Amino acid sequence: MVDLILKSGREKSLIRHHPWIFSGSVAKITGSPTSGETINILSNKGRFLAKAAYSPYSQITARIWTWDENQEVGGSLFYERINTAIEIRKPFVLKNTFSAIRLLYGESDGIPGVILDQYDDVCVIQFLTTGAEFWRDVIIDIIKTKTNSRAIFERSDSDVRQLEGLSPRVGLLSGNLSEKELVINEYGVNYFIDIINGHKTGFYIDQRDNRRRIRNLSRDCKVLDCFSYTGGFAINALAGEASSVSLVDSSDQALIIANKNIILNNFESANINFIKQDVFQFLRGMRDRGESFDLVVLDPPKFAPTSSQADRASRGYKDINLLALKILKPGGLLVTFSCSGGISEDLFQKIVTGAALDAGITALLIERLHQGFDHPVALNFPESAYLKGFIIKKIE
Ligand code: SAH
């Protein structure tokens, strides 16, 4: 097997079981491994540290499969990891409460680069790294036997594949899918999921419990759902008897599905506005016209995938939070999120604090929200904690 030898002193993060090796830590690679091939990681003094997948183009040169020299990287390792991932989630699933779940969450489940979401009886998979791509057939076979799903569809069209030198792959891997859209249930609300064209694998499963949280807080409220996508928060506000709901998103396609979802849940007679606009512009317009709301949700896309974009992203988060706090009625609630890996929860709190200060308001942070249980945070991989949200009450 090919050896990757680290520069002196660069083994520290590996000893703490962080699963990534950055190109800057590499002293030497003996031989010429192919993309995704399993290599040994050695300290500068030649001590075995881990077995990893090699990625020739990425800044992350290797991702660890195992720290155990005696463990072979192959079918039985993947079987064990996939089996464990499925088993650890089971006790957290209350029967018949939802039918969309993330079964594999990359590094957290010991399979860097593999994401597996199950929508009812259909699985959608992403292979995002060279190592994942290398083992794809083995992994697909295991998923077939472990999930008993009607179909497995691949959505390996995320931008991150480019960083790995991989081209997009989308298509049916097994079974059959006669319909383009599936319907899932989430705590009594139904959603159409467009697994072929939707974002990520079709839906933001990570917000499941936070969407439900909105329900109890919306009664008789005038609700604004910014970055609404297919209406997740808006429909929960309607289920919670909001007096009106406005959905803002720049994507036509998302709003079309949001409308279908509203009809699917029999809320079409309610007071609903669909607004196809840039949220920044929309909020400024509302502020200038003196419009106000009782509850505002901000669930923007990742402004900062990594910490290098944190400065610019911070300004974006500050802008929307400042505007949202301004158009919130006194006594109203702001439910604000960041899914940026590059923005820590601490930093996000500072940004929202700055926004409140600049808006000239007094506010309380009432509740902290995070990604769901099926996106577990690996303690050795803090990067796996990415979604943070606050429920903020505007006092005056
Ligand atoms: N809250 C949603 C997920 C939001 S995803 C849910 O629970 O399902 C982020 C959404 O923001 C996407 O639908 C995307 O189309 C939209 N978006 C991205 N940038 C935008 C912008 N500047 N203005 C309006 N919408 C934007």
Q: For 259-293, what is each residue's pLDDT tens digit? A: 999 999 999 888 999 999 999 999 999 999 999 99
Question: How far does Cα 168 stand from its chain's mean position?
Answer: 19
- Residue/partner pairs of 301-308 with CB below 8 Å, 24 or more apart: 301/227, 301/339, 302/339, 302/340, 302/341, 303/338, 303/340, 303/343, 304/340, 304/341, 304/342, 304/343, 305/340, 305/341, 305/342, 306/341, 306/342, 307/341, 307/342, 308/342
For atom 15 of ligand 1, which residue has the closest CA? 251
Would you place residue 308 in the very low, low, confident or very high pLDDT band (cuts 50, 70, 90)?
confident
Ligand 1 neighbourhood includes 207 CB (under 6 angstroms): yes
Ligand 1 neighbourhood includes 251 CB (under 6 angstroms): yes
Q: pLDDT tens digit string along 26-74?
A: 999 999 999 999 999 999 999 999 999 999 999 999 999 999 999 999 9
Query: Ligand 1: distance of its center to the CA of 151 in Å?
Result: 28
Q: Over 80: is that where the pLDDT of 179 sits? A: no
Average pLDDT over residues 133-152: 97
pLDDT number for residue 242: 97
Q: Which atom of ligand 1 is nearest to the CA of 207?
A: 7
Query: Ligand 1: distance of its center to the CA of 227 in Å?
Result: 3
pLDDT number for residue 33: 98
Q: What is the pTM of this model?
A: 0.96
Ligand 1 neighbourhood includes 303 CB (under 6 angstroms): no
Q: pLDDT tens digit string along 350-360?
A: 999 999 999 99
pLDDT number for residue 96: 83
User: Alpha-carbon dihedral of residues 378, 315, 321, 386, nearest 10 degrees?
Assistant: -10
* CA nearest neighbour of 274 among 296, 292, 258, 293: 258
Whether residue 279 contacts residue 226, with contact meaning beta carbons closer than 8 Å, is answered with yes
Q: Over 90: is that where the pLDDT of 89 sits? A: yes
339 is catalytic: yes
Q: Over 90: is that where the pLDDT of 321 sits? A: yes
